Structure 1
Amino acid sequence: MAFSKTAKGVRINSIISEHNHSLNPLIIKTAPKFQRLTNEMLEKIKFWIIEGKMKMSNQYNLLVAFFSDKTINKKDLSNAIQKI
């Protein structure tokens, strides 16, 4: 790739179809498309809020226990609580 000070854009000189760095093995835990709460999770959250008046920290701990095979993002939980 080349970019001179007088150029008005970037020019590609060559393409190598190999990765020149290691891929992040934790992408499944960090990519936003994998950070979704399922409908079952949302139903539990709604119940815990309305019927149990439960704090977010307790809900988070329960979600992690119930859905140990899923990644639970605290920000997603907070957003769900705000919507409910």
Structure 2
Amino acid sequence: MIQEIVPRFRKLTKEMLADIEKYVVQGWMDSTSIYTLLKHDYPNQPIHKKDLYNAVYQFWQKHNPGDGDASQMLQLLMD
């Protein structure tokens, strides 16, 4: 799964990823709102929505570890 996601992050610059993380963590913004802001801040940079959705999801997962799926909760309880 990681091998599929990592190349997609290369299309977004480090600055863009930092902005996305800030918007997700501090602003609780959705992908649509973030896309609009990124298009304004980086007009010459192509932004693929699928890459943005993946980045938002990864940052959301990173900062909300308690909101995992049922299999992750079961695995945690079994350990």
What TM-score do you get using the length of structure 2 for normalisation?
0.61
2:49 aligned partner: 74
Q: What's the CA shift string for 1:38-59, capped at 9, x where partnerless?
A: 0000000000000000111000
Structure 1 alignment gaps of length 5 or more: 1-31
Cα RMSD of the aligned pairs, angstroms, is: 1.8
Structure number with the bigger relative contact order (C-alpha 8 A, sep ≥ 6) is 2
State the AA in 1 paired with 2:17: L
Q: Between the two proteins, what is the percent identity of the paired residues?
A: 37
Q: Which has the larger radius of gyration?
A: 1
SS class of match (1:72): coil
Q: What's the CA shift string for 1:19-38, capped at 9, x where partnerless?
A: xxxxxxxxxxxxx88x7000
Structure 2 alignment gaps of length 5 or more: 1-6, 60-79
Higher helix share: 2
What is the aligned length? Answer: 52
2:18 aligned partner: 43
